[in-house]
Amino acid sequence: MSNQAAVDWKFQPRSRADAAPAGAAESPVNKLAQFFPGATAMRIPVRVTALNAQGVEPVKHVLNENTVIEFGTTQEVLFISSLPLEFDDKVRMENTDGSLRIDAAVVAVQYHSGKTVVAARFTQEIGNWIIKA
């Protein structure tokens, strides 16, 4: 007779709130993430720079900020921004070690209690993105 107890393995799907990082359940980004199937909770600090219509950083009046990517898919990232971003605006995202430097187009904006929640889609393939198709 074995000393091992029988284990009843049951798969319990986790809700998006369970999978989210601490504090993300209260985040307005969590609400926008519901519209992006397969969105995965994450916390990636980035610098976001608003680009002009041609996808170039303006010479004068560069608008940028530090923020955190809270959710991502294979092609999109979701974050809170204080920049004046609107649908189809272009942004550049870079992390501190330089391993991520990608341009994206804003595909969704939600306003929530004075905060702007942004979803942006990569404008080209990204080889080193953490979420693969």
DSSP 10-26: ---PPPHHHHSPTTGGG
Residue 20 pLDDT: 45
Give residue limits of the domains in the chain. 16-122
CB-neighbour burial class of residue 68 (10 A; exposed 0-12, middle 13-18, buried 19+): middle
The pLDDT tens digits for 79-124 are 999 999 999 999 999 998 888 999 999 999 999 887 899 999 999 9
Residue 27 pLDDT: 81
Residue 129 pLDDT: 82
Residue 58 pLDDT: 63
User: In the CATH scheme, what is the code of domain 16-122?
Assistant: 2.40.10.220
The pLDDT tens digits for 9-68 are 333 333 444 444 454 456 899 999 999 988 999 999 999 999 977 666 665 678 999 999
CB 87 within 8 A of CB 107: yes
Q: How far is CA 52 from CA 11, 23, 56, 103, in A?
A: 47, 33, 5, 12
